[in-house]
A and B are shown apart, each in its own frame.
Chain A
Amino acid sequence: MSEVVEKSKAPKEPLFSKKNKKLVTDPLTDNNPVTIQVLGICSALAITVQVEQAVVMGASVIFVMILGNLIISLLRNMIPSRIRIIVQLVVVASLVIIVNEVLKAFLPDVSEKLSVFVGLIITNCIIMGRFEAFAMANKPWPSVMDAIGNGLGYAGLMIIVAFFRELFGSGTLYGFPIFGDYIEGNGLYSMGYMNNNMMILPPMALIIVGVIIWIQRSRNKELIEKN
């Protein structure tokens, strides 16, 4: 009963209060899920070769995370703590499968593009990380905001990394040639410019993420861990 009384006393928080807005904006900069929380690195290797893939993956992760955070947050007072990780896993896996099955039936072309990402979304540690760190302890609305923020933070970083990898690795952006046609050898290529094949290989994603982390922490010294 005590809980109910407390609720009625507290003034109702507006939907877009400062605190809720911060949940969205923080992960974009000083609490970025990839560069600060260092989550979701594994998918960063796989899908940042082309900008298009990064955009599709980013959108899928945002979608799954909003629904997942909402469901986990609604169930948070019912989930037994000993099996909470399994429950989170069941929720995210079922969500991804449902989305994939529906797409397969109604939008087969989109489903074909996404099929690659299904496994990657389920194993994306940002989703499980936010379930565990935020949705398990917060009300549904802030959890949705947190999902949007972290999803955007993840997608944004993926697109930045993919921008550099696609531009210097393949000489294109979103599939459009920037430096001229590599196979025909015109444009910049006729002057002896070469694509950097190392950019296509997975380790370069880590190096670019590392450089971004370096730049971010040298601009904001507070982010450097002390130990």
Chain B
Amino acid sequence: MQTQLGNWRMVLPAAALALAACGGGADQANTTTNNQAESVQSSEASTGPAQGGNFVIATPGEPITFNELYYQDSASGDVISMIHAGLIYIDESFEVQPFIARELPTISDDGLQWTYHLREDVKFHDGEQLTAEDVVFTYSIFNHPDYSGPRVSDFELLDSVVALDPFTVQFTLTEPSAKFATQAGYGILPKHILGEVPVAELGDYRAYNVERPIGAGPFKFDSWTRGQNLVVRAFDDFFLGRPHLDSITTRFVGDQNAAILLLQTGQADYVIVPINEVETVRAIPNVQLESTLALRYDYIGWNMRNPLFQDRRVRQALTHAIDRQEIVETILNDNATVAHAPVSPLSWAYNDNVPQFNYDVERAKELLAEAGWVPGPDGILVKDGKRFSFEMLSNDGNVVRRDIGVIAQQYLRQVGIEVRPAQMEWGAFIERISPPNYNFDSVVLAWGLAIDPDPQAIWHSSEIEQGLNQISYSNPVVDALIDGNVSIMDQAERAERLGKVWYALAEDQPYTFLYYPQVFAGLSPRVNGFTQHARVDVFKPYQWWLAQ
């Protein structure tokens, strides 16, 4: 249990601070590596999927808006995946697949012009045909001076978008960007409904955004009783054919425990299971427990503004002194894999050719001695009259991170370092570690990664001032490697460049990379056709079906 208060919508410790947390299908990848997503085995072979039924999702998070251009929370994202459709989507192996587009875009040789050909059988829920005009309308909003939503920076490189004919759209960029392939996943908005709404008012245009969203996705919005449930119904004219289910009900519950109880009593079909509740759910008879590696890594970040952590040998010693395999086995019940670099094994950019600093107390002591730290009278290391003692901060209510703090305290004690684990309420915690405060020694946190592996936002020194580089890491070599990596259109070439970034970061150890955790989904025995996606909770809901 995450504690009663651990799971508020914006405060989800697991998803929180997720880099590019959102964007639905709007992130990218091109090849498959190591994906562990599995489909539920079904009895489909004999009779084919059963039609009909109401599928119930139980979740503590309540959505805010159903307009993909403005949402920032995963609860809204889940509903958006049901009612909207984009030009492309990212499949469970992180490959870009055409959706409303007939095929992947044709890209001009200079990487500046991206042309999408649309299917001609796509209808909105109100029966209107979806055409290139709707696509142009949707994507023109991002660059409109009055657009106040969160996606401006994603489209800074977009110069123009035009309809070449009713079913062909051409995007023109100001400079080539490999990342752009991913940005074509936004749910297309109906121009015939929103065309007259001034862009400045679009974010708060509730008549569409919350009361009556119309998309081209597999399910139509039906009703939302706040605090209780939200219902969507099958859209008969969905371009891939009517979904098997009649409806999906998202039921809003008090916390994750309540959701699991509903699964246990057969009143819910699908629940996201937090990692510390996995064993509880495993013990429930008949429940299907699905898992896949999350697109995420957990870490301990060392604040480089603090003189204690400025020497690379010291940071390497800190990692050597902590037995991460033990943490994975005891705290996470083996539901994770030890991490050595800031890139997920799921990504095409993953490269395990990086220095590893495995558990080795003697080596840790050597490195600390080299760096000039000698044992003081109380056994704690001392250098220039300063004791090696610091605080390790994490967010309140996250049991796993609290335990990591305590275990790290014991391990580091062995090499003569004093750790004081501390926890703070999420809001206060984030404010303390973020610019312009940087007020922490070390921090236990996690990054939910974007599908595009661009390391800019976390590791570039230009992100210290205002960005997500909270530990103030600055390495000119890494900066140079990051600069321009997104303009490399050839994936193999880009992977090679990024491999050098991972190597440099692993060697520098600005973080102690802890592990790659798994994500779990609990499904009722009657669920079939479910595909788990490491990044999206509601993935291909039109393939779900319920055994009768």
The answer to whether A and B belong to the same complex is no
Chain B residues close to A by CB (< 8 Å): none
